[in-house]
Amino acid sequence: MNAIYHPHKNLRRVFVWELPVRYYHWLNALCILTLIGTGFIIGDPPAILTGREAYQNYWFGTTRFIHFLAAYVFLFNFAFRIYWGFVGNQFASWRNFIPTNKKFFSDMWMVMKTDIFMTKREEEKSIGHNRLAGAIYFLTFIAFGIQCLTGFGLYAAMSDWWLPNLFTWVAPLFGGDFMLRQIHHWAMWFFILFTVIHVYLVFYHDYVEGRGELSSMAGGWKFIEEEVFEENKEEKK
């Protein structure tokens, strides 16, 4: 059986993730975890018995406030990432996420054979996201949009501010609040599944490839094979 990991001798230190991308990533992670935790409580609130007066026991209102606050941060952070996809470096560009040609799909299949089916071990040719990760992130961005639409569509009925009121059309489009709440709940489970798989694959690639996958989202730098760097440079010409 062939060894999975082979240390590389000729590595180049490449700056991949810009500071705004790293800020977006960690702020987005914090928002998602907060929204999931508070969302579970809002969807199925526990019965807390107490002898105190009602005005002294406002924990559910506080939970809703935290959920709504995290939702606003999530929305603006998401809007910023859309913007940065047009003005950031080549690794943040939307061209790395949207399948646009035959080679993109061919590279996706190669990654699937390596990471999912484990039938073939090939050298990782990407510097930023591999093609499969890019396509999955694109689907995740669509899910982000759906979550924002359904969440603020539900919130619009109880808010007087102009921003939530921009989403008053969402509930009628989806057939009412009940279906809107169901879609919002299903999307939450998608994010839970995505988070588990994402964390696993980051540690997996960091161990197997030894390119600094995990630390790159803190410092921005990855260690890329010299031949891979040169090959990517030629493709950009």
Full DSSP string of 16-82: -S-HHHHHHHHHHHHHHHHHHHHHHHHHS------SS-GGG--HHHHHHHHHHHHHHHHHHHHHHHH
Report if residue 68 sits inside a domain: yes
Report if residue 6 sits inside a domain: no
> Length of the chain, please?
237
Residue 127 near residue 228 (C-beta atoms within 8 A) = yes
Look at the chain and report how many structural domains it folds into: 1
Residue range(s) defining the domain that contains residue 134: 11-44+57-236
Report if residue 50 sits inside a domain: no
Residue 96 near residue 127 (C-beta atoms within 8 A) = no
Confidence grade of residue 213 (pLDDT, cut at 50, 70, 90): confident
Report if residue 4 sits inside a domain: no
pLDDT digits over 180-211, tens only?
Answer: 999 999 999 999 999 998 998 888 888 877 77
Report if residue 141 sits inside a domain: yes
Least-confidence region, from 20-24, 30-34, 63-67, 208-212: 208-212
Report if residue 49 sits inside a domain: no
Report if residue 51 sits inside a domain: no
Least-confidence region, from 8-12, 27-31, 100-104: 8-12
What pLDDT, on a 0 to 100 scale, did the predictor assign at position 60?
Answer: 85
Compute the distance between CA of residue 69 and CA of residue 62 in angstroms, rounded to an integer.
10
Q: Residue 104 is part of a domain; what is its CATH number?
A: 1.20.950.20
What the block records as the tokens of 170 is 């969402």
Confidence grade of residue 115 (pLDDT, cut at 50, 70, 90): confident
pLDDT digits over 81-96, tens only?
Answer: 999 999 999 899 988 8
Compute the distance between CA of residue 58 and CA of residue 202 in angstroms, rounded to an integer.
40
Confidence grade of residue 5 (pLDDT, cut at 50, 70, 90): very low
pLDDT digits over 26-57, tens only?
Answer: 999 999 999 999 999 998 887 766 666 666 67
For the cut 50, the answer to whether the pLDDT of residue 3 exceeds it is: no
Q: Rounded to two decimals, what is the model's pTM? A: 0.85
